[in-house]
Amino acid sequence: MKAINLVLGIALAAECTGAQQGSTPVATGEEPTYRGKTLAQWAALAEDACPQRRLDAAAALPHFGAVGIPGLAGLSRDKDSRIRHRVTWALGHLGPPAIPALAELLRDSDETVRYHASSTLGRIGVDAVPALTVALRDKDAGVRRAAAGALWPLGPKAAAATATIAELLRDKDVNLRLGAIEALRQLAPGEKAAIAAFTGSLRDNEAEVRRAAAEVLGEVGPEAKEAAPALYESLRDKDPDVRLEAARSLAKIGLNAVRAVPMLCEALRDKDAQVRSEAARVVAEVGPAAKVAVPGLIDLLAEKDAATRQDAAYALADIGCKEKAAVAPLVRVLGDRGTAAGRGAALALAGIGGAAVPALAEALKSKGSEARRNAAWALDHIGPEAGAAAPALAQLAHDPDTGTRRAALLALGSITPGAKTATSIAAEFLTDEDAEARTEGASALWQMGPAAEAAVPALAELLRDLEYRARLAAAEALGGIGVPAIPTLIAALTDKDADVREVAAFALGKIGPPAVKAVPALRELQHDKDGAARQAATAALEKIEKGR
């Protein structure tokens, strides 16, 4: 860059060779000056044969304010594009009075000058909208592009130009048509004129324009309902991306997207993997109305591409798949690594319910921890209907993987037939050497609620744990157990450890009105020397007395 500047400086100096040097004029009277020269002197230099002097003039004239604009306007027609660049920068400091000169620069032969002029007008703001609107109809495509580019960052402030920009959607320049769509998206996408323009663009001869128009109509949402007939027609577009975008937009607009389903089923079998994956995502957006797409989605679960398997799994979950034929393929995806496909498969299997339990129980024995964890997660969400998996979950509760153990414990807590077993297993963890394990055990007992009453003594001990998170988990578990834990919690309100007193009060607050017997002890705790304990007591009393 230094070398370029040096060459430029030498070039400018060479062009100034032989130019009139003279002495620097001296300002007289009260006439304002900048760097020792008056406005008239800088204006004269703006017409000098030396490019460097004209550049200096372009930098100096804006310091005189609006009166310097005529001189800058003359420089805006300078044969040297470097000087015209400088002029656009200079005019930007003068605000609305500079708009006519900047509008003239929108017609400059140099694309960079046009770009800077348009961005400068955009920075001036709403006052520049009329000039930019006129420029939208310029015969030069570059001028039209520059004007549109200046308008869209203004957003709703430039809404007055909406109709004129909409006309650009019929421009012969494809880039300008795309730019117009982007401009309308920012200005006023929900206006009738804009919606009508987008709808017309669905018939554009360029697929990218049609796709962009369909996308924006979806973003508009329910207000774009009048575009429905054209969007339905786009479902038969020769370009797959346009078809998919049309289907997605119909779903976003809130219209009956059933008519899009046959096209989506075809797209699920498209030769392009990206189209197949995108089709699965659109099916998910359509929801239960797309259940006929289940066979195609099941096929995608065997794809080599992990992202496609992920999209297919989530789509099966979102449309509420109940097909037994989906169970085995979904179970095979449970162990997918590096993507969310496994969790999507678990979600879909949980939706299938009881029919998936035997396969999920078997998946608990998988070699990969990811598969075991996701299988347990699915059983957790199936709930009591997954009671047959309780023995396998009980074994999994001792898994070497922390996340898998936690998932198994939580699942046991959700399965009513296994609650007794779950309580004893979870209680074992309360004395584990690992604080995380103790916390997991308490969290599982909290999820079991009153069924975990037998664990109250062990949880009371955990209230004194050295790890605060374990103490808090114990308090939450006791609060979840409810009434059977109240005597233990009242006793803990007078513990010598302030942290124990605090979490005991917290747990009683979780129980609420049924813990009314704890009110006297809690009132006493409001005078505790520990501030956190006092606050916990006050909060608990508010919750208990609120329902009395």
pLDDT tens per residue, range 417-431: 445 667 788 788 888
- pLDDT score for 472: 86
**pTM assigned to the model:** 0.60
- pLDDT score for 373: 94
- pLDDT score for 528: 94
Residue 326 has pLDDT above 50, yes or no: yes
| SS3 state of residue 38 | strand
Q: In three state form, how does the secondary structure of 412-447 look? A: HHHCHHHHHHHHHHHHHHCCCCCHHHHHHHHHHHHH
- pLDDT score for 419: 58
Instruction: Give the CATH number of domain 463-548.
Output: 1.25.10.10
Residues 65 and 79 sit within 8 Å (Cβ to Cβ): no
Residue 529 has pLDDT above 70, yes or no: yes
Backbone angles phi, psi at 30, to 5 degrees: -95, 5
DSSP state of 79: S
How far is it, in rounded angstroms, from Cα 155 to Cα 204? 25
Residue boundaries of the structural domains of the chain: 463-548
Residue 536 has pLDDT above 70, yes or no: yes
For residue 381, how far is the Cα from the chain centroid? 27
- pLDDT score for 4: 36
pLDDT tens digits along 182-233: 888 887 778 888 899 999 999 999 999 999 999 999 999 889 988 888 988 8
**Between residues 151 and 459, which one has the greater pLDDT?**
459
- pLDDT score for 328: 96
| SS3 state of residue 33 | strand
Q: What is the largest CA-CA distance in the chain?
A: 104
Percent of the chain whose predicted confidence (pLDDT) is above 90? 33
For residue 489, how far is the Cα from the chain centroid? 44
AA identity, residue 255: L
Residues 476 and 510 sit within 8 Å (Cβ to Cβ): yes
Percent of the chain whose predicted confidence (pLDDT) is above 70? 93
What ranges make up the beta strands (E) of 360-519?
A: none
Instruction: Summarize the confidence of residues 470-480 as an average pLDDT.
Output: 89
Kindly report each contact of residues 208-211 with a partner whose C-beta sits within 8 Å and lies 24 or more positions away, as own/partner: 208/174, 208/178, 209/174, 209/177, 209/178, 209/181, 210/234, 210/237, 210/239, 210/242, 211/239, 211/241, 211/242, 211/245
- pLDDT score for 355: 96
- pLDDT score for 16: 52
How far is it, in rounded angstroms, from Cα 185 to Cα 194? 8
